[in-house]
């Protein structure tokens, strides 16, 4: 059994060099068709490249597809209806700035988790514990359905909805 295994392992190692030697001794010539044999001695030097010249008639060539653009009159009529504002841009921007007040951020209590000594809450998708900072607020107390936030302005209770 072991001898057969060794024979199978050594046989490819002996046959590969033998196959290589035989392939070198046999001359396998490439057979070309008669038309291919005529092309074979072709050399690049035999080809002359002429400088490219633009034909005189090339300027008169027109596209077979006719494209029609909209008339100018239509564009002018639309432009005549619109005009610039009479007020200066600085005055308009000042009015817009006065109208815009910073929107008050909505703070929403999503979830509370209270266990014996671990109290956590999810406010606006962020996990916080008692004593943590949430934006400009400090989380003072977490109860089952509400959370007490404290900041410079005062205290605020968030109630879970």
| Residue pLDDT, tens place only, 58-102 | 667 777 788 787 776 655 555 556 666 677 777 777 766 666 666
CA angle in degrees (0–180, nearest 5) for 60-64-69? 95
Question: How confident is the model at residue 78, as a pLDDT?
Answer: 58
Question: How confident is the model at residue 146, as a pLDDT?
Answer: 93
Question: How confident is the model at residue 96, as a pLDDT?
Answer: 61
| Residue pLDDT, tens place only, 108-161 | 999 999 888 889 999 999 999 999 998 889 999 999 999 999 999 899 999 988
Residue 114, beta-bridge partner list: 119
Q: Pick the residue with more confidence: 94 or 33? A: 33
Closest among 124, 113, 121 to 147, alpha carbons compared: 121
Q: Is the pLDDT of residue 45 over 80?
A: no
Question: How confident is the model at residue 98, as a pLDDT?
Answer: 65
| Residue 154 backbone zone (phi > 0: left; psi -120 to 50: alpha; other: beta) | left
């Amino acid at each position: 059994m072991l001898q057969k295994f060794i024979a199978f392992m050594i046989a490819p190692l002996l046959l590969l060099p033998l196959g290589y030697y035989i392939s070198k001794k046999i001359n396998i010539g490439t057979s070309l068709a008669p038309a291919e044999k005529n092309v074979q001695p072709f050399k690049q030097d035999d080809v002359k490249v002429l400088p490219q010249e633009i034909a005189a008639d090339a300027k008169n060539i027109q596209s077979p597809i006719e494209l029609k653009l909209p008339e100018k009159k239509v564009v002018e009529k639309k432009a005549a209806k619109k005009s610039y504002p009479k007020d200066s841009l600085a005055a308009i921007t000042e009015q817009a700035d006065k109208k815009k007040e910073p929107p008050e951020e909505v703070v929403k209590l999503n979830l509370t988790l209270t266990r014996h000594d671990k109290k956590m809450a999810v406010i606006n998708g962020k996990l916080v514990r008692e004593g943590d900072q949430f934006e400009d607020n400090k989380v003072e107390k977490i109860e089952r359905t509400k959370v007490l936030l404290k900041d410079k302005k005062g205290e605020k209770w968030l109630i879970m909805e």
